[in-house]
Amino acid sequence: MAKPTVLVTRKLPEAVETRMMELFDARLNLDDVPMGRAELKAAIATVDALVPTVTDTIDADIISAAGPKLKIIANFGVGVNHIDLAAATAKGITVTNTPDVLTEDTADLAMALVLMAPRRLSEGERLVRDGKWTGWAPTQHLGYRINGKRLGIIGMGRIGVALARRARGFGVAVHYHNRQRIADALETELEATYWQSLDQMLAHMDILSINCPLTAETKHLLSEARLKRLPKHCFIINTSRGGIIDEAALAKALRNGDIAGAGLDVYEGEPKVNEELLKLDNVVLLPHLGSATLEGRIAMGEKVIVNLRTHADGHKPPDRVLPSDF
Ligand code: DGY
């Protein structure tokens, strides 16, 4: 039987690519140059499956170019905001993602930013590297203590919960806003305080972490008006998607001292970073590293393979994403 043809848009870890070559007629991107729209449209006209990443915009126009054989988009990543799910579903294309396997890595990175931003760790590193450090001083480079602070988590899904567990270990009080309240037992374990009203929670937090997916409802959830509700000493952490925060308004708030600082791993127009943010010292800027561990990326690849394989075998792939999921 002919192997399914699978278009992989970016270079994946060696172990994943090798297994894909064994199981599928895989079209790999060995140079890792992101595909342009025209190239992508031409390529998906003839394949059975597409494996995109967050760097590909799979909108309705791209999906309209899919050939009749294309029945599955197996995303390499958990976030699917770059895929038009409604257009895919309308065309009978199944969309899958890679949940669970990047939860711990992403929560580690969020916790790292929770520590880095208030303690001004990036600034400190820059000082040393730039040769400007003149030695220890009692009042030099003072940040804020982490222990005893209130962390407000927006989006208490897998990653939000994993971050909450870490934060508890650092003596941080967990607060959260979520569409649904989490189970009683989990709330008790985390000693978490639920806020039905996001606006009310914002006004009381020392640190705020974004852990919800980007959807039509969460686009600019942290609008200019909401940012104004935060106390001046508050820090914002974002490891989810840049579009959840109005980035221009965030830069303005950071510049004016309306909030104390931020730790960002994601941006509205990645890989472009708002010029204003680049000028500011009170923001830690990372290059979308949330799931960037070798183990995590191999596990994501394994999930993609399982989704493709079960689909090719005529079964429902385990990690199906439906338009109503997000
Ligand atoms: C994810 O899996 O959503 C990561 O942000 C990389 O896309």
Rounded mean pLDDT, 258-275: 98
Determine how many CB atoms are found less than 10 A away from the CB of residue 257: 10
Scanning the structure block, which residue is given the tokens 């002919």? 2
Catalytic residue among 189, 270, 276, 302: 270
User: Does residue 291's CB lie within 6 angstroms of at least one atom of ligand 1?
Assistant: yes
**How close is the Cα of 305 to the center of ligand 1, in Å?**
17
What's the one-letter identity of residue 265?
A: D
SS3 191: coil
323, pLDDT greater than 80: no
Q: Which domains does the chain have, with CATH numbers?
A: 5-101+293-325 (3.40.50.720), 103-285 (3.40.50.720)
> Residue 197 has what DSSP assignment?
-
User: Does residue 162's CB lie within 6 angstroms of at least one atom of ligand 1?
Assistant: no
Model pLDDT for residues 99-109, shown as the tens digit of each residue: 999 999 999 99
- Cα-to-chain-centroid distance, residue 164: 16
User: Does residue 299's CB lie within 6 angstroms of at least one atom of ligand 1?
Assistant: no
Of 185, 186, 142, the C-alpha closest to 164 is 186
Residue 325 — very low, low, confident or very high, per pLDDT cuts 50/70/90? low
Q: Which two tokens stand for residue 41?
A: 């449209």
Q: How many angstroms separate the CA atoms of 237 and 13, rounded?
A: 28
pTM of the model: 0.97
Scanning the structure block, which residue is given the tokens 């190239």? 39
Burial of 76 (0-12, 13-18, 19+ CB in 10 A): buried
Model pLDDT for residues 146-195, shown as the tens digit of each residue: 999 999 999 999 999 999 999 999 999 999 999 999 999 999 999 999 99
142, pLDDT greater than 80: yes
Q: Give catalytic status of residue 104 as yes or no.
A: no
Q: Give catalytic status of residue 241 as yes or no.
A: yes
Contacting residues for 177 by C-beta, under 8 A, at least 6 apart: 152, 153, 154, 155, 156, 194, 195, 196, 197, 198, 201
Residue 326 — very low, low, confident or very high, per pLDDT cuts 50/70/90? low
